Structure 1
Amino acid sequence: MNGICALCKKTARLKGSHFMPKAIYRAISKGFPEHGQEIVLITGSDRSAAYTDKQVKKHLLCEGCELKFSKNGEDKVIPLMARPNGFKLATKIKKFKELSHVKGETWYFPPNYETALDFMYFAISIAWRLSATDWSTFGLPETKNSIREESMVAFSDFLLGNTELPANTYLAVYVDNQIVDAPLMGFPTVKNHDGYQHIVFNIPGMKLSLISGSSPGAGILETFSINANNVYFISCSLKSHPDYHFMVNFLKNESVAKGRLKNERRKSV
């Protein structure tokens, strides 16, 4: 269909743009056959859980901007995520320069500026998609304009190639150091704070955590002050994080099962 591209603002034929990249769905369904044909969508808005093969997408970007997202981020990051035959990033991270080791987390610098940019671009492209349009028809909460205007301007300039890095933006890539036996893809969530926002999402084996805003606090500024590209990698156990336990508890004890998942739960009781 024809329309105005949400990123470059040009009139063009719009592509069917996925919220989370199609390659992630494909990697889960093809790479984890015991899970991929049994993908469970957990929806917080109606507290439901159900099997699904539905992919979240809508006409949003022109072909040129779609290619930017693929070339500058997705094609570089997705091949590194966890798969049954290995987790490339978890192997590579052991050779990165170490910053510190605290409470089971080992922080590393990116191996080079290009890798930092690849992950920053990928993370920003997902966060930007969250706020650029409303995805609520797919069971998500209302998302349009959920990220503050000053950050969205910085994100757009960076995605279009007008700036080398997005202003006032910091990225931590958490890399699971355990066996990834249950692939997880999580849509971005936004937590609002005075002076900044915290945007988090998951792909198999990784949690990407963005801080964006002009006043993120002294601790964050100090941590990133020695790293010009504003990106760190952190090796840790994602299953030990409170977010993972919250998700598991919600799925098992609080969510309302629908469809075939509901029938299977009845049989298991």
Structure 2
Amino acid sequence: MSDDEAGVPEVDARIPNAARIYNYFLGGKDNFAADRTAAEMVLSMAPQVRIAAMENRDFLTRAVGYLAKEAGIRQFVDIGAGIPAKRPVHEVARKVHRDARVAYVDNDTVVLVHARALLGRGLGTAVVAGDVREPEAILKSPELTKLIDLEVPVGVVLIAVLHFVPDSDDPAGLVRRLVDRLPSGSHVVITHLSDGGVPGDLRIARARELYQGGLHFRSRAEIEALFGGLELVEPGLVGVSSWRRAAPEATSWWLAGVGRKP
């Protein structure tokens, strides 16, 4: 995306945007100069962030593949879906179930514009405007309920979204409110930035500053609490690079897990 494309409604290209910064980390082109500058500042402090972002995306592929193949999940709700990237959820799921259905949910104008252009035209997919802080509204959305049967197990995907939710909005409570409305056998996929056991690390403070205080690093215990009431699928809560794969940890700052509703 070039800077002359800033005419998209309600988009200010001068302000860094979390979805576009993440897109830059993944090697995408749907970002502005302000996003690239912010991203490079993050990388100057923690070069491993780009590798971690790519590993995070690879984890999503493995997790969705696991849910489709081993848990038999045929429908997914991807909340905080972000700008469409390679191997979106529906493509991964449809390698197992050709009829897999996916609702992509986001509250970011830029994301919705791209998602509707690239994902919202095919059969079995929908793009829904929604905020993770309003789970009931998401699950009641007409666009979602036309596609997703909430009486049948669902795979809820929360990749790199809950660390943008402050404690005051009770992220664990938000997950619980989502899960309460899903049937037994549903699964929740979560990745979240951790403080790496060093909450006072100056790099964390700088990253929070770049995201204008909107980025919340949490401890392992706090991230585990997001799965309250769910059965953690083996190997439990681990680094994104090593979930169900023999691989060294790319970073201790990004944890991942999959929980099943009993």
Fold-level match, TM-score > 0.5? no
If the length of structure 2 is used for normalisation, what is the TM-score?
0.26
Bigger-Rg structure (1/2)? 1
Question: Which structure has more strand as a fraction of its residues?
Answer: 1
Q: Which has the higher contact order (CA 8 A, sep 6+)?
A: 1
